[in-house]
Structures are given as structure tokens and as C-alpha cells.
Structure 1
């Protein structure tokens, strides 16, 4: 292999390979050193913020009983999903994106692809659970406590994780997504690549199951929620002059529910904004003979990963309880005096 490289033209000799001593190795992506360093800095920062931010959410809900309610248990599970993405998926994707090489072998490539698909599916299904929770809280408040119990929420979370695992690992390891693409995979495969191809059928089915159907359900529920919330606000404004103390308490509760629904709608909106370009490209790519450049796919994947960093930031800005718990936790970590921090009510 080395002798062959010596006989190549100057342009070809400059090509670097993922595994220089193996025949059939993939070429590395050539980038200026300053660009590579900038990419690593950006991606490492994103990973650290994702892991640390979601750990704050996990610790907050786990250790403060005031945050123990069905909605926050779903948010806790969602934070676990995002934290797993930051710990087990993003670091390996970072090396692949910057170097253009996969150094961990074919089998771990399948595991990585399956986990990546599983966690993104689990995320949006969790947000779907949150929208259902908010729908019952806003649109059927009298039945909320009987319909949405901790047991039902935990059962729903377990089903969500299980379905995402079976679906994602089943698709990748059964290779149904590559049926009919055998020649393309042989032509494009090389040592050091880790690409997930979808044929036309599964290029539609997988995004439908993982993204578009749950996204449509969430959108419909939130439209209904905001319609009901606006109607309640109008009724409250008409009755403001004759309210009793009990009614004021109910109104305050309704206001908190609406604010929670608004905040979680922002979480959903950010998720859709981050992942929509990737899933649209996944659907279109098989129909344009896989002409989408790998660089574009990498950029869209990282734009999707960016969502996992945004969720804790949104909670910190919009939820007073999370703001207080974050301050308490950070104060204890850095050895600051916590007496000046207001205790949760």
C-alpha cells in the first residue's frame, strides 16, 4: 500500500486515509487545522453544556420533593435521554464529523446508529407525553388527577423507552432499511465509514414513526390547549370584578397550568425546529439517489443534537422552581453560602 502511494500523482499522494496500512481504507476529511480546532471546541462545548445542563434537571427533580409531579417525572426521563445522548452518542459523532473517519469498527457503528435513532425517537415521544399531560391539565382539569397518575406516567415512560429500543435496534440490526441498496453499499463502503442508509420505504416509515406522527399529535394538542387557555382568559377577564377568594385560588392555578403549557410548547417548538430539517432530508435523500453531501447530513445531525442542550436552558429561564433548585445545586457545588437563596415554596 505504501509503495502504491509513492507512485501516485502529487494530488493523490496528499490524500490521508483513516487506516493508512489497510487496503480499502476510507480517506480522511481534509480540513485546515484552525477549522478542525474550531469544530472540536464548538462540539466539546455543546457536549459539556448538554451533559451538565441535563444533570442539573435530573438532580433537581430527584432531590426536591416539591418537583415530584407527573409532568416533572416525564421531564426527568427526557433529561436522562438528553444526558445519554451527550455522554454516549455525541462524543463519537464529534470524531466522525471532524475527522471523517469511524475508528471503532462495524459492529459498534451499528450500536451507535441504533442508540442515536433510539434516543431521538424517545425524545419526541416524551414530548408527546408532555403534550398529553398538558392537554388533560388544561382542557380537563377536574379529571386530571384521576386520569394522570404517577403510576400511569411511569408506565407510559417505560413503554416509550421500550418501543424506541425495539423499533430502532430492530430496524438497524435487521437491515430492512438497506433492502435493495446492496450494490450502493458495496460501492460506497470502505474501512472507517459509519453511514446509515434508508431505502425509499424506510426513508418514509422511520421519520413518520420517529418524528412526523408524534409531531402532528403534539401540534394538534397544543392548538387545542391554547384555544381553551385563551377562552379561559376571556372568561376570567369578564369575571374579574366579582371573583371570590376561592375563585382567585382557582384562577392562580389555571394561570400556572397555562404558563407550564406555554413553556413546554416552547420546548416542543425548539425540538421541531432543530430536528425538522434532518428528517425532511432523510425522507428526500433516497428519492434523489442519495445526492445529499455527508457534510450536510453531519451539520443537520448536530443541529438536532443542539436541541438536547436547549431544554435545560428553557427550564431555567421559564420555571421559577427550576431556577431556585439550579441556584441551590450550583451553590453547593462551588461551596457558596446557600442561606441567601429562597427556599422552594
Structure 2
């Protein structure tokens, strides 16, 4: 412990080949020499602690939501739980010790804890990335082959895939424990930092398995998901348009068929009763019209007496104000005597019925067109939202991990590449931050997760208010 306020310096051994920087030590109120000034250590520690707490709280909420909220207890969400467990282990096993190592500037916890910490770092981060890859593959199979995959997506199969993710993560992280490393035999915190294995062969092996291969898989899979989703939405919009066209043509055929049927019926009635008087024939036609209307087959009046009957029709009988009036006229004709029944009244009724049918068809067509237009807007909105979601997922993942893994893979092969400790720490925590944002990215676009989060937080706030 130093009682002076003046920093002192020492020159640690550098195993990579870069010029040895001068390390400066700063005293602190807790009696531990720090690698940074005390004010800077406080600010950085507070920021990193907030990141750790958000990572822990967010991933615990995800796990609790899946197991306590019934709509989320579905088999595909087990991948989300596995991802949350991996990110939670990062926050609990890796991040706190990293903060201590950064602030102190050297490893003060012994070689065995150093090996455990480094192995946990690679294991948990690799598992997090591979779980993201498994989620991408699960979504790809569910979209491209929904029927068959729905039968294959059993609890046993999903748990087997999750177990495979963790086993592969252990295979990638464990070789340094059995000798594939450059760790010193005798560890001295003043001379040897607790750092990731810098063996070039292992770095290529671990970087490919932990990041670059999953990155390629995720990129291809999400592109295929986007294309498949876009194609499906367009096919649905095309099918809606075809249905509308068919509905329109069906309506026209219905009107044409009804008109043809009415014409045929009128001619048939005229030929069947050549010697019957107009009133008698007209009464029979009314009875036939009543029967045909029940089958949606209207009949026209006799053409033979229409011209003679026009002169006998009182003006007040023909009313064309509304569809209700038309039905009233038809009822009067059915109840009236033969002397007051006239073919022209029936013709007017039929004309109004034709007009009413055509109006109904036009309304239906307008409704269909409006529905198709609205559905197309919804499809475009879904397409844009899917593209935005996939873009956010891939963008955050790439932004978080690409800088770190580029430095990780380049550093052993570039002796003259000597990044500062501050840059290394920043890129490392940029990758760690992916564990913080994962629970929010993969749940914020899901309404059930938002509801579950809201319920859980409300329960916590109510419990706190009681105390």
C-alpha cells in the first residue's frame, strides 16, 4: 500500500514483442494501487457495473418470463432461455473479474482462478454466439419448411440441439486446459498478465469456431429468411388480387346469368299460354316469380300484353323511391285482384332488382379492393418490419463482436501491431455488451415477452411498495 499521492511506474515483461509501456500506479482510498486515476476508476466502474446489472436483470427476466407466462411456454423459446443462461453466466462469472483486472492493472487472484476465468470467458461467449446461430437456424427451418419442421420441433430435439451448442462451446474453450496454451509455469502477477491464450494456432481455431463460422451461417440464414418472408408476403398479396378478380367476374356472371334466365323464362311463359288472357297469364307469372325468387331465379312478365297494359296502369302504382318500395309493390301485386295486376309493374320491379343487385356487387367489389389495398399495406409493413428486425439483430451482433475478433485473430501474427490496453478493454467490453442487448433485441419485437416483462416488473414494484 502506498501512502503518497505520487504515481510510481514499473516495466512489466511483454511476451508479444511490442515495446514495453511504462505502467503507472495510482493510490486509492481503498488501499489498493490502481492502473488508472481514482476518479477515472470510479466512473468506469459505475458504468461497467450498470452494464453488468442490466445484463443480469434482463436475462433473468427472460428466463422467468418463459417459465411463468403461459403464452411463452413453447418449445422454440427454449433457445431463448439457453441464450439467456449463456449471457447470464457471462455477467456473473466473467464481467466482475474483468472489471477488477482492469482497475487494478494486474491479476491478483492466482493462476488457478485465472485459468478458470479465461476458460469461462471463452466458453460463455462462444455459447452465447452459438445460441444466436441456433436461433437463426430454428427460424429458418420454421419459415422454409413450416409443416414438416413443426412435427420435428419436439422438446427432445430442441434440448438435443441446445446440448450440442454447449458441448461445442466446451470443445472450443477447453484445449488450453490440456496444454494448448502459452501460460507460464510459474505465475507472477507483476510479470504475467492473466490474458487470453495468444498461441496462433489456438486463436485461429477458437476464432473460427466461436465467431467467424457462426457469422457466415447467420448471415446466409438471415438472408434466406428475409427472401422467404418477402416471397411469402408477395404470394399472399397476389392470391388476394386473384381472389378479387375472380369475385368480380363471378358477380358479372351472376348478373348475366340472371338476365338470361329472366329472358328465357319470359319467352317460355309466352309460348306456353298463347290463348290465355293477359290477367290470367299475369297471375300465373306472379306465382312462378314467387317460386323462382326463392331459388334466386327471377322471371320476367309476358311480353305479349305489355304494350296494351301500359295504358291501364295508374301512375301511383309504380314507385321507384327505394328498395323497400319495390318490395311493397311486389306484395301489393301478390295480394291484389287480377284486374289490377299489370306486366309493366313487374318489369319495373325487375329493373329495380337488377339495379339493386348491381349496386350490391359494386359495393362488394369496392370492399374487396379496399381490403386488398389494406392487406398490401399490411404486407409491406410486415416486410419492412421483418427487414428492420433482421437488420438490427445482425447489425448489433456484427458491431459488438467483429472489432474484438479482428484484433483477436490479427494480434498474434502482427508483432508490430501494438494496441493500447484501453483499446483492448474497450473492444472486449463492446463484445460483452452483446450479452446485455440480446434479451432486449430478441424480446422487444415480441408482444408476449413485452407483456411478461411488464407483469414481472409490476409484481416487483408492488412487492417493494409493501415494504
Q: Quickly name the TM-score band, shorter chain normalised.
A: 0.7 to 0.9
Q: Could you give the per-residue CA deviations for residues 311-336 of structure 1, whole angstroms, max 9, x where no partner exists?
A: 12224431111110001111111118
- TM-score, normalised to structure 1, is 0.80
Residues 193-216 of structure 1: CA deviation (Å, up to 9, x unaligned): 311232222221110011001110
Paired position in structure 2 for 1:311? 438
Q: In the alignment, is residue 293 of structure 1 matched against residue 411 of structure 2?
A: no
1:211 corresponds in structure 2 to 211
1:43 partnered with 2:43: no
Q: Distance in 1 between matches of 2:82 and 2:383?
A: 20
Deviation of 1:261 (Å): 8.7
- Aligned mates of 2:196, 2:445 — CA distance in 1: 37
Matched, 1:65 2:76: no
Name the structure, 1 or 2, with higher relative contact order (CA <8 Å, separation 6+). 1
Cα offset, 1:144, TM superposition: 1.8
Partners of 1:113 and 1:172 within 8 A in 2? no
Q: Which residue of 1 aligns with 2:330?
A: none
- Deviation string 1:69-97 (CA, Å, 9 cap, x unpaired) is 23211001100111111111111111111
**Secondary structure of the residue that 1:125 maps to in structure 2?**
helix
TM-score, with structure 2 as normaliser = 0.60
**Alpha-carbon distance in structure 2 between the residues aligned to 1:127 and 1:82:** 11
- Once the two structures are superposed, residues 260-285 of structure 1 have per-residue CA deviations (whole angstroms, 9 ceiling, x without a partner) of 79646633431222011111101100
- How far apart, in 2, do the equivalents of 1:12 and 1:159 lie? 48
The answer (yes or no) to whether the contact 1:54–1:82 under 8 Å persists in 2 is yes
Partner of 1:231: 231
- The equivalent position to 2:175 in structure 1, one of 156, 164, 171, is 171
Q: Tell me, in whole angstroms, the C-alpha distance in 1 between the residues paired with 2:418 and 2:121.
A: 22
1:149 and 1:76, CA in 2 relative to 1: closer, same or farther beyond 3 A? same
Cα offset, 1:240, TM superposition: 2.4
Alignment of 1:262-341 (within 5 A): 263=389, 266-289=392-415, 291-335=418-462
Q: Between Structure 1 and Structure 2, how many residues are aligned?
A: 312
Note closer, same or farther for the CA distance 1:147–1:266 as it changes in structure 2 (3 Å cut): farther
Moved more, 189-198 or 92-101: 189-198
Alignment CA distance shift 1:171-1:259 (3 Å)? farther
Summarize the Cα distance change of 1:43–1:139 in structure 2 as closer, same or farther, 3 Å threshold: same
List runs of 5+ in structure 2 lacking aligned partners. Answer: 11-22, 248-371
Give the match for residue 97 of structure 1. 102
Q: Which runs of 4+ in 1 moved over 4 A?
A: 9-15, 185-189, 255-262
- Alignment of 1:118 with 2:123, yes or no, is yes
The alignment partner of 1:69 has SS state of coil
2-side partners of 1:299 and 1:152: how far apart? 39
In structure 1, distance between residues paired with 2:238 and 2:199: 57
1:55 maps onto 2:182 in alignment: no
The answer to whether the 8 Å contact 1:69/1:150 transfers is no
Q: Which runs of 5+ in 1 are unaligned?
A: 19-26, 337-345
CA distance in 1, matches of 2:56, 2:205: 31
Cα distance change, pair 333–189 in 1 and its aligned pair in 2 (3 A): closer
Per the alignment, residue 303 of structure 2 pairs with none
Distance 1:131 1:99 in 2: 39
